[in-house]
Amino acid sequence: MITDVLQAARAGDELAFDRLVAPHRAELRAHCYRMLGSLHDAEDALQETLLRAWRGLARFEERSSLRSWLYRIATNCCLRLIERRPKRVLPLDYGPAADPHDALAPPLVESVWIEPYPDDGLAVPDGLAGPDARYEQREAVELAFVAALQHLPARQRAVLVLRDVLGFAPAEIAGMLETSPAAISSALQRAHQAVDERLPERSQQATLRALGDDEVRAIVERYVRAWESGDVDAIVAMLTDDAIAAMPPRPTWYRGHADIRRFLAARPLQLHHRWRLEPVQASGQPAFASYGWDEAADGSLPHAIQVLTLAADGRIAEMTAFLGIGADGAARFTG
């Protein structure tokens, strides 16, 4: 029983504490990711949350659920982290589209980029976390959604995630953030207005369901064939007219067939480049772990996690390649 485990944990039993928090680890990590836009920062916040929970367990009075108490700690850990680092964005929010005739801009020294999230890390694979939630679990890790969140003031961000993604009641959220339910309702209203202005009309989850599994699988297979064969024309044919190609941590990004074609032909899909793509699921969207051939290593090395955003007709609206994903990073997405 949870009471027995709780008492053992309070008495200093670390194994009991691990058993107590184990059911909540994955959802807490996803919560921290939504707040922070970074898997690395989310891991740091999760570890701080668990450390604070361990140290403060004697003060847990069971007036709320253990889950609510842990979310209170995690949310406040995230709010403190947000105060200490720059806002995370996607390249589109950082600067204008680039000219493919120009050299690529160097990666930024300080990371300000949103990172993808491995779908296997979600606590709830599909659907809503609760009856009062507004966004599906996978919808709430889509790149557009997480990017929109990062433009909110920190406390508005917390309120929207706690209410609309996790389904906590306004009174519970007020307790977590030490404010009033009226203040929570006001913050939520402002957050809705700001997020709705930035979100596309249709989420990727709705688009993927409308296309169907077979069509999405065909798109994935066609993309892999085109990329691995270096077929620039085939990739461009899969794009919407105003498609975007971005590659954080480089701030450079391109828009439209002509510029993306020039970039692909001159950079990643030059004749001497050899690629292997492994389909994965990241940020609730079709994605690929890409591996480039390395002569010195005589093998393929992890290069990026590519995430696709699909339009309603199945064409690709955005290609976002998160560069510099090493073996450890790739393993998070490939299992």
CB-count burial class (<10 Å; 0-12, 13-18, 19+) for 59? exposed
**Given pLDDT bands bounded at 50, 70 and 90, which one contains residue 199?**
very high
Share of the chain above pLDDT 70, in %: 97
CB-count burial class (<10 Å; 0-12, 13-18, 19+) for 110? exposed
Radius of gyration over every alpha carbon of the chain, rounded to an integer in angstroms:
21
The model's pTM: 0.94
The Cα 19–Cα 9 span in angstroms is: 9
pLDDT digits (tens, 9 = 90+) for 206-245: 999 999 999 999 999 999 999 999 999 999 999 999 999 9
pLDDT digits (tens, 9 = 90+) for 53-65: 999 998 898 878 9
